[in-house]
Amino acid sequence: MQRTAVCTCGQLSVTVAGDPAFHGLCSCLECQKLTGSAFSYSGYWPKEAVRRIAGESKSWRRGSDSGRWLDQHFCPTCSCAVFGYAEFAPDMINVSIGNFTDPGFPPPTYAVWNEHRHPWVALPDACTSRPWRSGTEEGGDDQG
């Protein structure tokens, strides 16, 4: 199975093979600013799973609530954040799940930085609320 995530204007895309190694919600304040929403929802794939990155991207290195960096790649035309690389997961690429525009994508399996989660955000039954911790193990720190 392959999935392609695309920016709003369609100029930038990334295609990944298989399922993500882990995927979840992050409610850290930096992810809220990045998405303009109450949380981010990202999946992490091994870099070897990338089949194609097409189009021009710009990137910027942002901080996170944990103090680690994330290199965020976005479309220079529509400014949509599509993928990135995180200091805590050097062999992975993270892709914003919403850019797949797939309502059948499985629900998140974990949520981190819950102390910043808006109280009206209800987690799916399969999603465990975990405190942030360092490491790349599943459910470790997703974004921030």
Query: How confident is the model at residue 60, as a pLDDT?
Result: 92
pLDDT at 10 over 70: yes
The range of the structural domain enclosing residue 83 comes to 2-129
Query: How confident is the model at residue 80, as a pLDDT?
Result: 94
Query: How confident is the model at residue 140, as a pLDDT?
Result: 43
* Residue 111 and residue 128 in contact, taking contact as beta carbons nearer than 8 Å: yes
- Give residue-wise pLDDT tens across range 57-71: 999 998 777 788 989
Produce one character per residue of 45-67: b if its CB has 16 or more CB atoms within 10 Å, e if not.
Answer: beeebeeeeebebeeeebebbbe
Residue 97 within a domain: yes
DSSP states of the chain: -EEEEE-SSSS-EEEEES--SEEEEE--HHHHHHHTSS-EEEEEEEGGGEEEEES--EEEEE--TTS--EEEEE-TTT--EEEEEETTEEEEEEEEGGGG--TTSPPPSEEE-GGGS-TT-PPPTTPEE----SSSSTTS-S--
pLDDT at 33 over 70: yes
- Percent of the chain at pLDDT exceeding 90: 56
Please list, in sequence order, all residues whose beta carbon lies within 8 angstroms of the beta carbon of residue 59, skipping any fewer than 6 positions away.
71, 72, 73, 74, 84
In the chain, the number of structural domains is: 1
* Residue 73 and residue 81 in contact, taking contact as beta carbons nearer than 8 Å: yes
Give the CATH number for residue 9.
3.90.1590.10
Residue 137 within a domain: no
Residue 42 within a domain: yes
Residue 6 within a domain: yes
Residue 138 within a domain: no
Residue 27 within a domain: yes
Which residue has better confidence, 140 or 83?
83
- Percent of the chain at pLDDT exceeding 70: 90
pLDDT at 141 over 70: no
Give me the chain's average pLDDT, please: 87
- Give residue-wise pLDDT tens across range 81-126: 999 999 989 999 999 999 998 989 999 988 988 888 888 988 888 7
Residue 144 within a domain: no
Residue 35 within a domain: yes
